[in-house]
Amino acid sequence: MKNRLRVLRAEREWSQADLAVRLEVSRQSVNAIETGKFDPSLPLAFKLARLFGLAIEDIFTDEQ
Amino acid sequence: MVCSTNNPAQRRYLIRFAVCMTIYIVLLLVSVLALKHFQPTGVPAYALAVLPALPIIASLIVMGIYLAEEKDEFMRNLQVQALLGGTGVTLSVVSVWGFLEKFVHAQHFDLFMVYPLFWVATGLTAAVLWMRVRS
């Protein structure tokens, strides 16, 4: 699944480690989500959305 | 196991696993020495023979506890995939080896070696998965 995490993170000048701390996950998890290698669960996607103050579909794009 | 720093679930798992392996070494020595020295028969002999397997069973339960405690879903997913890969490789190897033993008299493979084989296979699967994620 494509996402805008890298851009959203850059806008806030957060490193992957910074975002990982805020999400309470590992930096590797943030990297895997950001590069589209791992799709987060719905609870984690909601957590991301809350963190950025956006809706889930504003962060993740359904490729179909 | 794929490890990251500052992960409390992984830290707890490594400590518990190390405890299991320490107990395993102690019980293995106790079993080998007691069976050799006292040469018991019947129930005591069975009990001593089974003794080293108990911490091995405990270590598998410890892995189950880790999976239940791991809050990082990506790491948990990676570990589950590694365990599935390790299980698949182990079952494949022992199946092939079983037929080789049966039909062409290949050297006997002791069943207690299945456990280390499983962890080696799981570790290799974890390494491959980790490289795929990082590339």
Contact across the interface for A44 and B71, Cβ inside 8 Å: no
Structure tokens at B58: 């405990």
Task: Quick: pLDDT tens for A7-59.
Answer: 999 999 999 999 999 999 999 999 999 999 999 999 999 999 999 999 999 99
Mean pLDDT calculated for residue range B104-112 = 95
Rounded to two decimals, the pTM is 0.87
Q: Which residue of A has its CA nearest to B2?
A: A28
Contact across the interface for B77 and A38, Cβ inside 8 Å: yes
> Number of residue pairs across A and B with CB atoms under 8 Å?
32
Q: Within an 8 Å CB–CB cutoff, is residue B135 touching chain A? A: no
- In chain B, which residues have their Cβ closer than 8 Å to the Cβ of A42? none
ipTM of this predicted complex? 0.88
Instruction: Give chain A's domains with CATH numbers.
Output: 2-55 (1.10.260.40)
Burial class (CB within 10 angstroms; exposed 0-12, middle 13-18, buried 19+) of A25: buried
- In chain B, which residues have their Cβ closer than 8 Å to the Cβ of A27? 4
> What residues does each domain of chain B span?
1-71, 72-135
Q: Within an 8 Å CB–CB cutoff, is residue B39 touching chain A? A: no
For B38-55, b/e burial (b = at least 16 CB within 10 A) is eeeeeeeeeebeebbeeb
Q: What per-residue confidence (pLDDT) applies to B55?
A: 98
